């Protein structure tokens, strides 16, 4: 009989269980990593879609923003907004008002 008896099957089972814990931890970390990646992909996609949906601005909203900019003494931005209304929404009823305001701003009148 050997002085040091090692139960090989018990050692092997211990090794496998310890290795299994590592495998489970690795699996959990990998699946969390995939979830974070998927979340960030969906978040990025949502932001892009949201920005694209916001690109079709309402001429009334642009006109109101331009009026607000005039009240805030930001004539440059107000002119840009009126020009955008004329460029992007030339057929809207607001375009006439925007053209009048733009002419007045270009003359230097408030």
| Interior angle at CA 34, CA 18 and CA 16, nearest 5 | 10
Output b/e per residue, 45-54; b: 16+ Cβ within 10 A: eeeeeeeeee
What confidence score (pLDDT) does residue 7 get? 60
In this predicted model, what pLDDT tens digit does every residue of 73-92 receive, in sequence order?
A: 999 999 999 999 999 999 99
What confidence score (pLDDT) does residue 108 get? 77
pTM for the full predicted model? 0.50
Residue ranges per domain, the chain?
26-55, 59-107
What confidence score (pLDDT) does residue 57 get? 80
In this predicted model, what pLDDT tens digit does every residue of 46-57 receive, in sequence order?
A: 656 555 444 558
DSSP code of residue 57 = -
């Amino acid at each position: 009989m050997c002085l040091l008896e090692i139960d090989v099957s018990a050692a092997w089972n211990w090794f496998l269980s310890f290795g299994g814990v590592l495998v489970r931890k690795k699996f959990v970390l990998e699946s969390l990593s995939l979830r974070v990646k998927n979340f960030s992909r969906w978040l990025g996609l949502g932001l892009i879609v949201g920005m694209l949906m916001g690109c079709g601005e309402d001429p009334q909203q642009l006109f109101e923003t331009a009026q607000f900019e005039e009240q805030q003494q930001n004539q440059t931005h107000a002119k840009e907004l009126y020009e955008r209304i004329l460029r992007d929404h030339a057929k809207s009823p607001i375009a006439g008002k925007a053209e009048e305001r733009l002419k007045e701003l270009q003359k230097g009148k408030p």
